[in-house]
Chains A and B, each alone.
Chain A
Amino acid sequence: MSTITIQDLSLRDIRLSAQLMALREAYFQAVPEICAERPALITKYSLEAGLFGRDRITVLEKARLYRKVLENRAPVVWHTTAHKRTAAGMEEFPFENTTPFAGSTTSKFKGVPIYPEFMALALWPELATISRRKSNPYCISEADINTLNFDVFPHWLDQTIVELARARGSDEDRRRIQLLQKLVFFLASKPNCISHTIPDFSRAVSQGLRAVINEAQARKESAGDPSAKEFYQAVSEVLEGIIAYAKNLGNAAAAQSGLETDPGRKAALAEIARIYRRVPECPAESFREGLTTVWVSWTAVHLENPNVGLSLGRLDQVLYPLYRRDIEAGRLTIEQAVELLGYLWLKIGDHVPTVPNAGEQLFGGSGSNQAITIGGVDAEGRDAVTDLTYVMLRATELMMLRDPNLNARYHPEVHDGGYLRRLCEANVNTGATPALHNDRAVIRALTASGHTLEQARDYGVIGCVEPGSNGRFYGHSAAVLLNLPSALELALFNGRHRHFGLDTLISMETGDPPGFATFEQFKDAFHKQLCWVIDQAVALNDWLGRIHQSFYPTPILSALFEGPMEKGKDLIEGGAAINASGFAIIGLADVADSLTAIETMVYREKRIAFTGLLDALGKNYEGYGWLLARLREPEKTPRFGNDDPRADSNAIWVVRTLHEALQGRRNYRGGNYRVGYWTMTNHAGFGRLIGATPNGRKAGENFSSGLTPNSGVTPFLTAALRSVARLPSEFIDNGMAVNLKFTPDDGDRERMLESFVASVKGYFDATEDQGAGGMEIQFNVTSHQDFVEAVKDPGRYDKLLVRVSGYTAYFKDLNPQMQKEIIDRTEYRLSTGRAVPYDPFPLPQGAGHEQS
């Protein structure tokens, strides 16, 4: 299957055109602008259709609403202005734009889409000041402020997902919503979206949307179930809407072409007009048409749900036949393919998530986490790396963008060293991308979790790092972000939490730890508290899911997915071929190390009584310097990440316990619950909300990211990776993020690359105890000094790309706590595999209150 014809895998001679470079520069200058078009249209048509105040909205009503929006939104072919920040405020600037991809997610060049149905009302207090806020400001016009304040938001006060859930729920449901709003135990993402999945673009590309409409109509005729008939009609409605939007763009391009005097621009517009009048309605006949189909479909999907981790999947597989055909026919060169992808990558990043100021502190700097997956094996297990895999890698390397988030699959038994070397080289060149996934471990995890072998082999990466079968897995992989140390807190304080005061019982009493005679008794208490938190999170996720079923069917996404057409029902009703909900666990290393600290210090070595340990936690280790020093020395207190079975066994126990606690549960769509270990920026946000922990972490400090061992306590790279690889990957079916920081060694680049490849290979090949090897790994290859300089002078490092915990971000956009977390990560020298001396960075100043 593998067809590699290019000689130089790095494609180092390929460069971007001056036009694309200039557009990229404009993109970096542009401040995201809030766009009121979508919310205004959605509100207007919802009012016209009488959709407010109802007990249910059908999939067909929703589809007709979306079709109207698609037909009536402004067809913007080329944006030529945006706003940038100046000392005097926001200032409009013009730029040249001849992108081959017309249309956009919002009406702006770089927009902030607004979803009043979900959580956009959180922006309400900030509308007038958001363009001046310190952290990641958005531009907004006075007209859009008024539209949102007077014409949009008031209608949604009682109609958002959470409020619909609260109004219709039991007292228990309301109590769980209240628990969610405390932010301390878990975050549930259904109030904001479902997203976090991969559509199936293959049919739209190869057959065109008209063929899908025809199939829907045929199925409607033969369906006996009225709800199925309604669903098929809904599919037809939204696909007609997408086709109409594309044709509107084509017509607008034709009109602009007619007025254009510059011959180059005139021809470019005419070509856009030709293509957009053909696709996505008809099958794509060229690589560019295939990309256009993907792009237009992609913009349409964003109409339904905010884009949080909605991912494009295995584009190198979907588009390869068109690419190869064009190359072989001489209609396309590699240079042109890289250029087209560069333009598409810019388009994919044309919107940023809607994040209120408080959210900036939890998720600050996050893009939409739109993952693209390259490489790997095909459904039959054959090598699926193609020329297009390398072309996409090169486009990513040249563009250096936050979105899309590139993920590369590598199978240790299938792929050769040249491919892995190229992936490592791209990480050195970009400093942060792509993330690497071990097919052997991922496929094992997915088959253990219900995928067939063929489905598992055809996985794509969703959002940050979550694997799921491409175009057929509706997994809402970020359904719950669980603050694991909160369960530890409840165990330490007998069902109470320091955040709420120790006189308030939050969960249930499992005993005062000083009364526990054995470590097993403490583990049992932790287990019970963990199950209580999971019970709350699962019940709330299911309740919110049922509200989505009643009010937010997703006919557009359903039309671009494997399963709904066959089953005759929407994704939200369980229409996908594979269903699931995902948990992401935050704080594994901190909890595992805390358990080991308790086991070692209190029970095995009896160096401190449990009462003393609780006193130390209460005093944030003030006066307990000896304890702190002992906890931070892995020779004295075993720490996860040192290839030490005493510490690793507790991490394994936690992973196994979480899997067992969730595996028997079924969600509201009939799918299972899956467990993953990736944290986005929540390890910093949640860290702020938890007091000192028994592993020596002080109050408010960050937790460790993803599955990464704690910083500063793992001096050897190989040992750290062996510990992580020892975790049972079959229990990690919702993905993991292992964040490594490499110091670029000066001088011998060749030797550095060799070490890089060897360390990844060693991690993926660590298959002792019938393991499948490490599952995932991602890197920051930037020196400590560069990070420190970037804090001081963000303007000079405005394009510095970093891996957070799963996704890529611009370092300058991260909040101070996250910047510190990145800088403080254990940093290894590639040449020796040893950590450089740990030197925690002082928290960058600047936070705090100011008078308005």
Chain B
Amino acid sequence: MNRAKKSALRLSCSLLPGRIQDGVVSWFSKPLKVQLCGKITDEFLELLLGGMDLAFALSPGYRRNIQDFRATYVFKTRDSSVGVSAVFDNGNMSVDPTPRPFCQALVCFKDPHALWSFLLAKDQDILDSLLANAVDVEGNLNYIYKFGYLARDLTRRLGLA
């Protein structure tokens, strides 16, 4: 989403009550909701980051999570066929379709289902992810925990928690 569109959405949504804002986010995030309801595909990461980006733009409540927060995350597959960066900068989020060289945390995952399981499974089984060697994390794990919270908060706002 470009900056101008984001600003326009942010402005128009700011007048709505919080629950309605979350409802708008939910309406715009239907493809992500489908994924979260059990149909994890190769688009999962893109949709998740896109959903977050949208929610930060539309929902001040969700945006509060990244006020004064600056961090870069890199997500990539083992075979490097997918590699994106999520950049947070004091209330703003952007998605860079390339893996940046410097980041707080790098998540390397076997496949989209492994990433979903790592971040969002109900009884999140990190040990199983490690056992299956399905996800590798490098860098500061605290940033992963924060990202995990953001992802779960999003699912709650989508009415899926």
Interface residues of A (CB under 8 A from B): 121-129, 133-135, 149-150, 153-154, 156-158, 160, 162-163, 166, 178, 181-183, 357-358, 361-362, 499-501, 685, 688-689, 700, 847-852
Contact = CB atoms under 8 A, between A and B. Distances in A.
A181 B122 contact: no
A796 B123 CA distance: 25
A500 B133 contact: yes
Given A124-B149, A685-B127, A848-B125, 5 more contacts: A124-B146, A160-B142, A183-B127, A357-B124, A852-B152
Nearest to A127: B149
A164 to B, nearest CB: 11
B69 interface: yes
Contacts of A149: 65, 149
Contact of A358 (B65, B125, B146, B152): B125
A852 B149 contact: no
A390 to B, nearest CB: 43
A182 B129 CA distance: 11
Q: Most chain-B CB neighbours within 10 Å: which of A134, A182, A852?
A: A852
Given A121-B142, A154-B68, A852 B127 contact: no
A122 B124 CA distance: 12
A123 B131 CA distance: 20
B148 A124 contact: yes
A110 B161 CA distance: 27
Contacts of B128: 849
B126 A357 contact: yes
Given A124-B145, A125-B149, A499-B133, A158 B124 contact: no
Given A128-B153, A128-B156, A850 B123 contact: yes
Interface string B31-42: 000001110000
Given A183-B130, A688-B131, A357 B153 contact: no
A129 B122 contact: yes
Contact of B117 (A124, A182, A685, A849): A849
B20 interface: no
Interface string B110-143: 0000000101111111111011010001101111
Contacts of A178: 138
B161 A852 contact: yes
B133 A849 contact: no
B120 A852 contact: yes
Contact of B69 (A154, A182, A361): A154
Contacts of A689: 130-131
Contacts of B127: 183, 358, 361-362, 685, 688
B30 interface: no
5 contacts: A154-B69, A685-B127, A847-B123, A849-B121, A851-B36
A851 B37 contact: yes
Nearest to B68: A154
B160 A852 contact: yes
Interface of B: 36-38, 64-65, 68-69, 71, 117, 119-128, 130-131, 133, 137-138, 140-143, 145-146, 148-149, 151-153, 155-156, 160-161
Nearest to A116: B142
B69 to A, nearest CB: 7
Contacts of B155: 852
A156 B142 contact: yes
Contacts of A852: 36, 120-122, 152, 155, 160-161
State the majority secondary structure of interface residues on A.
Answer: helix
DSSP class of B's interface residues: helix, strand, loop or mixed?
helix
B160 to A, nearest CB: 6
A357 B123 contact: yes
Contacts of A127: 149
A608 B65 CA distance: 61
A849 B123 contact: yes
Given A358-B125, A849-B123, A850-B122, A129 B161 contact: yes
Contacts of A156: 142
B153 to A, nearest CB: 7
Contacts of A181: 137, 141
A847 B117 CA distance: 13
A182 B141 CA distance: 12
A301 to B, nearest CB: 26
B38 A157 contact: no
B131 to A, nearest CB: 6
Contacts of B130: 182-183, 689
A121 B145 contact: yes
A265 B128 CA distance: 52
A134 B124 CA distance: 10
Given A121-B145, A125-B152, A689-B130, A133 B68 contact: no
Nearest to B125: A849
Given A128-B161, A357-B125, A852-B152, A122 B38 contact: no
Nearest to A690: B131
Residue of A133, A156, A157, A160 contacting most chain B CB atoms (<10 Å)? A157
**Which one of A150, A181, A849 has the greatest number of beta carbons of chain B within 10 Å?**
A849
Contact of B64 (A150, A499, A700): A150
Q: Name which of A150, A154, A160, A178 has the most chain B CB atoms within 10 A of its CB.
A: A154
Nearest to B120: A852
Nearest to B153: A128
A672 B127 CA distance: 32
A166 B145 CA distance: 17
Nearest to A125: B148
A123 to B, nearest CB: 8
Contacts of A850: 121-123
B40 to A, nearest CB: 10
A496 B126 CA distance: 23
